[in-house]
Chain A
């Protein structure tokens, strides 16, 4: 551990302030709770909200996994994992099943999470209505009155114009029939995983100074209409490494002009490959 800093970098008073805000967030699922976001030694937009949430909830016995784009090995994920390894000394892992806390940017792991696990999302823009109404003084009122007409009109206009809802990531959800919430920029493909998830889902937006949460076993519905139900479309490719056809794929252009598809979730890919090897033995 790095000398001269408190466990998990933040001082205990700050961590307690964040945990209090998180308790409120859990009590009102999907509601954005303002918090005294601190200046972190990593840049805004690079996960300062998620890092503060993780720092506030992590303990010495936790096992931490950090992913960016589904992968443990992208530079930002490496950097954040290194940060917590230095400032807490906790064990880290690349395996979804072994982790007690998973901090993520832009993905939900393919492997279903279980009770006792915490999924911490890095959130760039917690306000799901900001493209429709940029003034937070107004959006706060809209959430207060559950007045989501603006959003419904936007989705309706998409369908009228394109025949479909023109949102492929950060697809808005309604949490337990009350608050409309940004799921962070995960692909719409991942949205169904949030519904009735046994794990606790915590969301941190450092620059915007907001936290929110989805407690375990909470209803999370992607916004849609009765005659235009939300659906995810399969990408229609198999992973060149593990052969999986159901996971979310990265599209990798090759030098020869061809395209390869690989699992975005590297732990999922590795465990599917290991499964094949076990079958082959």
Chain B
């Protein structure tokens, strides 16, 4: 007699052993170490930290190794760890104007105070496979140590205005004001979302949304599904100081530095009954070096502000109830893949229904 799905516990244990073996791969090759991933797959580490909303390059590298390079699985591992951590409080808002930049470009002025700084970028590579890497990385390894050291970055002082500040001084762009509710924004990992969400909650959800999803949503606004008329006001990547104010002390203490990518998108706006014609802003801010994500996020942030500017709602990217919940790749991945779980009770109910409907039709 056939009895369905018995011995689940033993099957699970065997599956876990197979998973370990598959992760290790060919044992003739040396095993990866998480620090190698952290150093040599840094952009993947950054992406996992951003989508997990946990800044810890070492644990992100470990998660990537454990997940066999599946970035969404790594995000899941890191979030499941993050959820067990106590929350001590909020940091002070980070000051990206005081960032030690490794890269900074503006597309709206040819040159600007502080200058354009190309930094490490794929933008002007010619996308030819470098077969030499198969033999190791002798050119970099042999270079004098000074050249191989990370760029120390340039601190842009507060006195150097951001290119958007030049526009703001003329009243040509909307002022950059804190969202209502600041300085204590909602915490999307603690408070259930109640739509419509304030911008601070929307930005939190976008910052850890799936990069591919945000990219697609942002791209859709460039192809006629809503319009944003965007210009990159400024895109910068570098490190900023993170400060907290312990209640016992009452003044800010620096905890350390984190790497961020910040995109300030400038968008045309022809004005409305209540607002004069001026440029408006979309912002993208992500952990690590993630220019694609930060830029796409700034497009989506702006398009989600449609009702603020009395813009006509015509497109999916303008609908926060569509864009935001569906961008969470851990939720999406879980729910799509839960279809693997047994559904034979519901399927049997459907079978019964279909058979009955067919019988009635045949009669």
Task: Enumerate chain A interface residues (CB-CB to B < 8 A).
Answer: 5, 11, 34-41, 43-46, 48, 68-71, 73-79, 82, 105-107, 124, 134-137, 162-164, 166, 168-170, 185-189, 207, 209-210, 233, 235, 240-241, 248-252, 254-255, 260, 262, 264
A262 to chain B: which residues have CB within 8 Å? Answer: 3-4
Known: A36-B192, A39-B83, A69-B344. A251 touches B351 (CB 8 A): yes
Select the residue from B7, B342, B343 with max chain A CB neighbours within 10 A. Answer: B342
B195 to chain A: which residues have CB within 8 Å? Answer: 135-137
Q: Does B337 contact A (CB under 8 A)?
A: yes
Q: Does B193 contact A (CB under 8 A)?
A: yes
Residue interface bits B70-110, CB-to-A below 8 A is 1, else 0: 00000010011011101000000000000000000000000
CA distance A119 to B335 in the complex (A): 23
Contact status A73-B6, CB under 8 Å: yes
Across the two chains, which residue of chain A brings its CB closest to B190?
A36
Contact status A36-B191, CB under 8 Å: yes
Interface of A: prevailing SS: loop
Q: How far apart are A39's CB and chain B's nearest CB, in angstroms?
A: 4
Q: Does B312 contact A (CB under 8 A)?
A: no
Interface of B: prevailing SS: helix
Contact status B345-A76, CB under 8 Å: no
Task: Enumerate chain B interface residues (CB-CB to A < 8 A).
Answer: 1-9, 11-12, 76, 79-80, 82-84, 86, 189-196, 321, 330-331, 333-338, 341-346, 348-353, 356-357, 360
Contact status A34-B8, CB under 8 Å: no
Known: A39-B83, A209-B192. A78 touches B12 (CB 8 A): yes
CA distance A146 to B262 in the complex (A): 46
A169 to chain B: which residues have CB within 8 Å? Answer: 345-346, 349-350
CB contact between B345 and one of A43, A69, A162 (< 8 Å): that residue:
A69
Contact status A250-B192, CB under 8 Å: no
CA distance A263 to B194 in the complex (A): 42
Contact status B342-A69, CB under 8 Å: yes
Given A46-B341, A74-B342, A78-B12, 20 other A-B residues pairs in contact with their CB atoms under 8 A: A11-B84, A11-B86, A34-B192, A38-B189, A40-B80, A40-B83, A43-B330, A45-B334, A45-B335, A69-B345, A75-B8, A76-B341, A106-B343, A106-B345, A136-B195, A164-B357, A169-B346, A169-B350, A254-B2, A260-B1
Q: List 30 A-B contacts (CB under 8 A).
A: A11-B86, A34-B192, A39-B80, A40-B83, A43-B330, A44-B335, A44-B338, A46-B334, A69-B345, A71-B5, A73-B6, A73-B7, A75-B5, A76-B341, A78-B12, A124-B335, A135-B321, A137-B195, A164-B357, A164-B360, A166-B357, A169-B346, A185-B346, A186-B345, A187-B348, A188-B349, A235-B348, A241-B1, A248-B345, A264-B345
Number of A-B contacts (CB under 8 A): 149
A77 to chain B: which residues have CB within 8 Å? Answer: 8
CB contact between B4 and one of A106, A209, A250 (< 8 Å): that residue:
A250
Contact status B196-A187, CB under 8 Å: no
CA distance A169 to B343 in the complex (A): 11
Across the two chains, which residue of chain B brings its CB closest to A260?
B2
CB contact between A164 and one of B8, B191, B336, B356 (< 8 Å): that residue:
B356
Contact status A233-B352, CB under 8 Å: yes
